[in-house]
Structure 1
Amino acid sequence: MTAVTTPVEGYTGIVAGVAFINGRGETDDHNALSYFARHGYRIGDAAAVPALAVPKIEINRLAPEIPEGAPNDKWKVPALKAYAGREGIDLDGAKNKDEILAAIAAHEVAADADLAADVTAAGEPDDDSGDA
């Protein structure tokens, strides 16, 4: 687990799904660590968290359910954010539902382009080869 120290000395509570006691917590969640890095938290101070200082808290039961199928404008923002987190999509700067949907769509277009490039690089003929 990676130790995290809050910028507010002595803070006790939950931020980004991580429990903090007296300004100290720990996590291995990549999204949470990215958030903390952007917001001035100290990361990686192994001495900051004694082994038994942070209780384990069940957070998954609070996570929003991700609907079946592709994200669309009927999904609520928490479900869109959960989907993006699960898929490793960076939502940095997305402030509303439309921006989140745009970030997800852009990620999927980029992923499709990467896949097409991988297939072409592997010597597989693409649809424009003219070979039928």
Structure 2
Amino acid sequence: SHHRNLLRCLFALVVIVVSLCITLTLLTMAATENPITPAPDSESADQATAVKKRSPSDFLKSVLGRPVKVRLNSGTEYRGVLACLDGYMNIAMEQTEEYVDGQLKAKYGDCFIRGNNVLYISAQKRK
């Protein structure tokens, strides 16, 4: 019981630190981002406006708070709501389900995944 409470406190602390790291990273990125200026002629300006390239950072910002699938190097998948992540791809998720070989193995409330284990993150359709 004492160890369980200690682990809960540690997890809460990790989530807070990761949240602060993400907030700081996003604020830094927003402050240093340079807008893309279109070419002077109107045709290429229209094309530049129509086709905006999304960076990995843009994608990750867009899926915060949304359902995602996280695949690990081991092949295990975690599906849940992306709570936060940092520049090292450390991930905190909520309402997490663990899948091995496509089969549901476990359900977790909150989950923390160390970034060096992450193969990819993909957006999921909302349930």
Normalised by the size of structure 1, how large is the TM-score?
0.24
Larger radius of gyration: 1
Greater relative contact order: 1 or 2 (C-alpha under 8 angstroms, separation 6 or more)?
2
More strand as a share of residues: 2
